[in-house]
Structure 1
Amino acid sequence: MEENNGKILLRFLVYACIVLVFAGGIGVFGFVRSWEAFYIAARQEPIPTLQGMEQPKYDPNKPTIAVLLGNETTYASDFMIPYELFSRTGAYNVYAVASDKEVKTLTGGLEVVPHYSLKELDQLLGKSPDIIAIPFMRVSDEKKFEPIQKWI
């Protein structure tokens, strides 16, 4: 009888392990896929034409805030929160700025067109912005981050 109980317990443990490995594997696979879809979102199709987009007006009597966009993925909340908070006050010139004017991707897949490149903003202001908001930017290629790092 004791030998029979041992076999039943062993079978139960084997089945439990199989179920856990199968369910756990599906869970890990789903987690990795959703994480990649959210944090490593990137455009696969061509960028649409962006002609006719207007830049916000520059008021020399207001302080200027540059909210940076990375050349790779920038965290959406780190970009959007300071941009919106400063913009809502109406007391500042607030611009989305990147090393170039290409479409930039935020986490979650939101795509943003910078108002100015770093060079264009320097030419507009003739000086550094009064405040630079630096969101978390995913950096896997140091060369892509170099222009932003030098500008800061």
Structure 2
Amino acid sequence: MIRKISAEETYPVRQEVLRPRRPLKECFFEGDLEEETFHLGYFHRQKLVAVATYVARKNELFKAPFQYQLRGMAVLPSFRGKDLGTKLLLEGEKLLKKKNQQILLWFNARETAIGFYEKHGYKTSGTPFMIPNVCMHIVMYKNPTEL
């Protein structure tokens, strides 16, 4: 049900969930096409219903030498509440751990998603900030030993 997909495959789900009523081109994120980036998709009856992207990207808030950023986590509204986000998150953590035991995973979480990530052991760092034309976010992370 979960498999690696291309950046382009993520765009329709990202658009519907993260950038509604915005042009599809706004669903391309920096890092999407980098060699170390990987995209995961959750399929239900061969339909892509949830996505997550993992980008090799450092954040100066953290000293860890190996870091990845989670980007574009999105679950179609009709599939929420079925733990698909959890499954994508855990699969991504598993793949990162295989890649390197010392990877710190961080991301800019929407304020509405903080509780979801805290439930999975992520912590906040810094103060909330606005991503223009989107919403308020805060940096969250999980240390390598916790993945």
TM bin (shorter chain) = under 0.3
Give the strand-richer structure, 1 or 2. Answer: 2
**TM-score of the two chains, using structure 1 as the length reference:** 0.27
Whichever of the two has the greater Rg, that structure is 1
**TM-score of the two chains, using structure 2 as the length reference:** 0.27
The structure showing larger relative contact order (alpha-carbon pairs under 8 Å, at least 6 residues apart) is 1
Give the helix-richer structure, 1 or 2. Answer: 1
